[in-house]
Amino acid sequence: METAEQIRDRLLARFPGAEISVVTNPGAAAQHSLLLGHAHARAIAEFLRDDAPLKLDQCSNVTGIDWPEKKIVETTKVTVPDPAGGPAKVVEQKSERVQPGYLEVVYHLYSIAFRHGPVILRLRTGNRTDQVTVPSLTPVWRACEFQEREVFDLYGVKFEGHPDLRRILMWDTFKDHPMRKDYVEPDDYEWEPTPHGAVLEKAKAHYPTPPAAAIAPAAAPTPATGGAKS
């Protein structure tokens, strides 16, 4: 099968002016993906499905990713000439920039006919609040329908052109999108038989403040056992 770069070049020849870039995967799997602009996404998807050498006739997986806003510290090396005439110094300069958050939808495409794949497509939203629309690929691959509904339900990505965009896992009156990183789940940790870690912190808010007399005095460690017993 062609590499992502080859597919991108062929797509750019076929759709001049389309926004297509390769997102490399530095991991061992090296599954590089194609990041598509919204304008040509539907046409490119149809092309990939019908293209003779690729024939990606199955969309096996659609998933969402939440990328919250994050600060990126970049270190650049700047050569500063020495005013005294000595050798130039290399100084590291740190600059901070804020990468705005966005939501991403990832499609994994396979070819049943040629038994190859996956080709991975990515679509990104403008931000995480009001520009959360991406074009739906359900008209291209029917298999996307439920999975796009799931991404809508859990991440809040709106799919333009989806035939039936409703919540699929949570109930209809549910608010917010639980797979987003900033989702706050309902606090029903009134009672934890084995509290640990983050759950302990949540459960502690529900603990009644016992009167001082109710607190059992701490057992004095006995020298025989070394105080190891609790």
* Residues of the shown chain interacting with another protein in the complex, contacts defined by CB under 8 A: 169-176, 178, 183, 185-186, 188, 190-191, 193, 198-199, 206-208, 210, 214-219, 230
Give the shortest CB-65-to-another protein separation in angstroms: 18
Closest approach of another protein to the CB of residue 101, in Å: 21
Tell me, rounded to whole angstroms, the distance of Cα 182 from its chain centroid.
12
Strands (E), the chain: 20-23, 33-36, 58-67, 70-80, 89-99, 102-111, 116-124, 133-135, 158-160
- Return the number of the residue (114 or 174) whose C-beta is nearest another protein: 174
**69 or 176: CB nearest another protein:** 176
Q: Give whichever of 90 and 214 is closer to another protein, judged by the CB atom.
A: 214
Question: Whole-angstrom Cα distance, residue 174 to residue 178?
Answer: 10
The distance of closest approach from Cβ of residue 199 to another protein in the complex, given in angstroms and rounded to an integer, is 6
For another protein, the closer CB: 29 or 216: 216
To the nearest whole angstrom, how small is the minimum distance from the Cβ of residue 198 to another protein? 8
Distance CA 101, CA 124 (A): 10
Nearest-angstrom CA–CA distance, 164 and 188: 33
